[in-house]
Amino acid sequence: MTSTMTAVETKPKKTLLETLPQKLGIADPWVDMGGVRWLNPGALSVRDLAKGMNAVQARFVTITAVQLPADQGIRLEYHWDLDGQLLGFPYQLSANSIESIYDLCEAVDWIEREIHEGFAVDFLGREYEPLLLRQGDKLGVNLREEKK
């Protein structure tokens, strides 16, 4: 039997993680909270963030959509993995839309479509096909609002 048993490199890229905010042009420091290293992206666009994460070979994990209370809109939390460290970048949406990063990061395809279907967030610059919803259902409807 031929096989490769690889001891995974466990040493985190500490220097890379420490210098990442500077590389992305973010002044704020990392904040450790609830198992995630959070970084406030400030004015950094999500597309520039995606380019930065691709440059350091981080692995896209997911986007979590959170509906905030009292008409505060929706927050999208972009998660990447850098050598076992989960990184989080929150984006508060002002007009329920944000640029798509699908052309930069293929792995976001399904989660962008799912969030579009469940939270009516418009990811600008891409086309949608139904993912979880079936033919005849209306796309781009906030299901939570519908529930109310």
Which positions lie near other proteins, rule CB under 8 A? 1, 3-10, 33-36, 57, 59-62, 64-67, 77, 79, 83-86, 88, 105-107, 109-111, 129-134, 143-144, 147
Cα–Cα distance between 49 and 36 in angstroms, integer? Answer: 17
- Taking alpha carbons only, the member of 130, 74, 73, 121 closest to residue 100 is 121
Q: Mark 31-60 as b/e (b = at least 16 C-beta within 10 Å).
A: eeeeebbbbbbeebebbbbbebbeebebeb
DSSP classification of residue 2: -
Nearer to other proteins, 9 or 127 (CB): 9
Greatest CA separation found in the chain?
60
Q: Give least dist CB 79 to other proteins, A.
A: 7
Q: Give least dist CB 64 to other proteins, A.
A: 4
Nearer to other proteins, 46 or 65 (CB): 65
Q: Which amino acid is at 37?
A: R
Nearer to other proteins, 25 or 138 (CB): 138
Q: Give least dist CB 12 to other proteins, A.
A: 9
Q: Give least dist CB 13 to other proteins, A.
A: 12
